[in-house]
Amino acid sequence: MISRKEPAEREEPLEREASRVVVKAETPVYGGYVLGREGKVIFIKGAIPGEVVGISIDERKRDYSVASVKEVIEPSPARRESACPVFGICGGCQLQFAEYGRQVSMKEEILADAMKRISGLDVSLMPSLSGKEFRYRRRGQFKVSRDGAIGFYREGTRDVVPVEACAVMCDEINAALGTFRAMDLEGVKEIHVSSGDSLAVLIKGDLQEEAAQFLLEHGVSGIAFENGDSLGKDYVTLDLNGLTYSVTPWSFFQSHWSLNRTVVETVVRELSPLEEKRVLDLYAGAGNFSLPLAGGAKEVTAVEENAYAVEDGRRNLALNGIKNCNFFHLAIEKSLESRKNPKSAKLFEESRYDVIVIDPPRPGLTGEALGRIIETGCETIVYLSCNPATLARDVKRMNGKYSLESIRLIDFFPHTYHIEAMALLRRRGSVE
């Protein structure tokens, strides 16, 4: 528990006491930390920039230390009580102690700093895209302990912290938690829940037949299993700005769905007009960007490695009557790097595309894969990223051929340290 104390008279530098170190929190850094200094750099967990805090050192390295806040001596005006009874125990959220607007501004500072340090570009961020801070998640992954407790892992461990409701899950998923607690969870290790027009779950581990029947009788429309089998209606549907978007629990979709709709709308608007343009959507999922872009483009090519997502995407094309979009089941990096595979060679030949949308995992793109994208000579690249460091690195790699037109933060995961961003790049010398 973090305690508070009224500011006391003190002399600089900040003093060291027998039971604590007192420091001033300075700059936010990725991972939910704020930098402080006491001889060497300290990564402080649980602080807001500008605060004076008493910390305990959790880990000492040669060049830095990692610490946790134990006492807030001079609190930030943005500090507040967390809304969750297991905050600080469960490992899901890291920033609930900060007002939401301050969370967003801290992430903006981290993104801008990464761009300056790594890409060498001193950027002015476009207005951030954010939405609801609570009850926003339409996807959840719950862990099940050997004794049947259901919840999330305790931070840094495999111990399950039981939860009755989660402050960031939507009401439908929180209601389903009561159903899960009432059933026999013997053999179940994880339950992944997707919420749309109905509820579908992915079970990891073994599910007893009686438990499966219980789920289907108590609000769950479909059950998916790791081996690809399913019971009932194994997908949910959501509204994607007027389009029908269906997805199974085996596939990924953005859990902050209301914000995702805003992001998709922003991408479509910034790329318009799309008439007569050919679009390549890499890491396409079930068509989150491909489907809306197909409404204005000449043709859209969607490439995705997850076979279930490709199946979902093709279902979505049929549900929406879209004829100018095709899904390809290919491993993105291998396809980009290979010039011998006839299927991928045709997809990535030069001058085939006018617009490329990239939404890679945290490691970003390999140098060879990114080079292949640059070789296409497309006019515009939209790069969506979940890692500011690899985004900045890849923007730097593209800087010779492409200029960064805009970049903005997307806060898909309020109360966590996760940072997503969208960069829009134009080919140098291209005529819009």
DSSP string, 370-398: HHHHHHTT-SEEEEEES-HHHHHHHHHHH
DSSP of 172-190 = HHHHHHHHHHTS--TTEEE
Question: Is 139-236 assigned to CATH 2.170.150.20?
Answer: no
- Same fold across 116-131+256-427 and 139-236: no
- Domain ranges, ordered by start, for the chain: 3-74, 116-131+256-427, 139-236
Looking up tokens 């629990």 gives 249
Residue 292 · residue 302 · CB < 8 Å: no
Residue 154 · residue 145 · CB < 8 Å: no
Q: Whole-angstrom Cα distance, residue 66 to residue 120?
A: 28
pLDDT number for residue 70: 96
pLDDT number for residue 283: 96
Cα within 13 Å of Cα(38), Cβ side? 24
Give Cα 195 distance to the centre of its chain.
17
User: Within 10 A of 3 (CB to CB), how many other CB atoms are there?
Assistant: 10
Residue 276 tokens read as 């007569």
Report which of 292, 297, 284 is spatially closest to residue 261, judged by C-alpha positions. 292
Residue 234 tokens read as 């194994």
Residue 32 tokens read as 């939910």
State the sign of the Cα–Cα–Cα–Cα dihedral 228, 231, 233, 234.
negative
Q: Whole-angstrom Cα distance, residue 363 to residue 54?
A: 35
For the segment 234-275, what is each residue's pLDDT rounded down to a tens digit?
Answer: 999 999 999 999 999 999 999 999 999 999 999 999 999 999
pLDDT number for residue 216: 97
- Tell me which residues of the chain have a pLDDT lower than 70: 1-19, 339-340, 343-344, 348-351, 431-432
3-state secondary structure of 356: strand
pLDDT number for residue 225: 97
Q: Whole-angstrom Cα distance, residue 332 to residue 425?
A: 20
For the segment 103-152, what is each residue's pLDDT rounded down to a tens digit?
Answer: 999 999 999 999 999 999 999 999 999 999 999 999 999 999 999 999 99
pLDDT number for residue 350: 55
Residue 97 · residue 84 · CB < 8 Å: no
pLDDT number for residue 337: 74
CATH of segment(s) 116-131+256-427: 3.40.50.150
CATH superfamily label, 3-74: Nucleic acid-binding proteins (2.40.50.140)
pLDDT number for residue 155: 86
Residue 164, H or E segment? none
Query: Phi/psi at 67 (nearest 5 deg)?
Result: -140, 165
For the segment 147-180, what is each residue's pLDDT rounded down to a tens digit?
Answer: 999 999 998 899 999 999 999 999 999 999 999 9
Q: Whole-angstrom Cα distance, residue 24 to residue 261?
A: 39
This prediction's pTM = 0.92
Q: Whole-angstrom Cα distance, residue 392 to residue 121?
A: 9
Query: Phi/psi at 65 (nearest 5 deg)?
Result: -130, 160
